[in-house]
Structure 1
Amino acid sequence: MSKNETGHAKNIANANLLCTHIIELGAKYNPSNQKLLLANLQNIYSTAFTHQEIVNNSVAPYSLAVDHREKLFAPVSKKITKLRKMYKATEGVTAAQLEDFMTIARRLKGIKKVSPLVTTDPSEENNQISASQMSYDQRTNNYDLLISLLESTPGYTPNETEYQVATLKQEKTDMLQATQSVSDFFIPLNTARTVRNNTVYNSEDNLVDTFNKAKDYLFTILDGNSPQYKAISKIKFKKP
């Protein structure tokens, strides 16, 4: 779990902890602000906990899709090097054709991986996944260009299955499917994070702000030297 995701879970766990302290206070906890009543705080906690669980359940399939895509694309650079040698050994290939091959190969090898980072800003997450998708889309497109070049070269008819055009076309199809799968699993994950973030940070009565106000009220009714005051002061609610 990333540091950010751990931070979300910590805020939610601390909400439950503060509710436990409030329960122990009994009738002494009697804020005039209705939003700080125990029942409301427990409802906010319960909602946030449920939303975090949905995020957690969406992370695994997305991560597996990302891992599968990375594994699929990992051998491409080495394969391009071998394809170059195979192409160079093909009868009738000209220097110009070889340079065309190298131009495409450089594009394939030159695009760096864009990791899908975790953030609490939904628009930023969308930008990140878009950049990542574009990187893999570009690599797949360049792979397709390379296939077209090989296919249009009459003498390119290798006996080895891994270098044959049909094999390369299947690999391209697998690349497209892997990237689409990442996108498909990202959508529910991003939606779940947006809902969770609204509950914990962004809505008008979000968890962090409401529970910090509850702490402020608690500090007015507790003795600053009491063990409970000191324990509650250590319970933190933070926005990223």
Structure 2
Amino acid sequence: MGMPLHGAPLRSVLRLRARFARITALAAVAAVSLGTWASAQAENGIMRDNFETPDSCPIGRVENTVVAWRYDGVGRKTIDVTVADNLWGRIDSNASPVAFPWLQSFAVLWSMPRNGYIAAAFDFPEAVDLTTWGKFTHGETLPGPATDMSISAWCGDFNPPEPGCSFRGTTTGQAMSVYKRTGALINVACVVKPGETYYVNTRLTNPDVVHAQCTASTCKTTIQHNHTP
């Protein structure tokens, strides 16, 4: 059995114990904070913390949903919405989709889940005209509630750092996103690079919104795409 400590040795031991307790408490706070931060990042679709790769997607990605290319819904069907060609590369449900820059067309997300997001991938070809630019518009027929959209090299990323690449809370008739290849005669737009893969990320701004074009679990919303040339 050791000798009891008195005076300076005892004070040193007590200081060490207090320091260890502070370090343990700080580590616990840091762990909680990191967990909360990571959770918030995933919920908001922010995936740039150097742990993920661009093609990894946050929880909640909608892979299949009902889409129509007529406002009356005739011909609507469930399709793979992870590929942008399937949405804006056709003008009716029976047509074979064409690749970017797609068509001058609209897609009605007939059953957009309230809780979730669409990340529709597309390849920006090397051979695209130097002056190419395009725009997504929140439709005026069957517009549905406010939506968020971004164009990003990262799946589910609604906060891309590149200027002009995200729009929040767009409503009837408003631009949802504008993109261009360098050289296009338009100033404010998200610059996309030839040979790269991008995602058109879309979600409802408020999943709990009360709207005439929503059910308890889904909403309708129309997204128009146009491009030049």
Which one scores higher on RCO, CA 8 angstroms, separation ≥ 6?
1
Higher strand fraction: Structure 1 or Structure 2? 2
Q: TM-score range by the shorter chain?
A: under 0.3
- Structure exhibiting the larger radius of gyration computed from Cα positions: 1
TM-score, length of structure 2 as denominator length: 0.19
TM-score, length of structure 1 as denominator length: 0.19
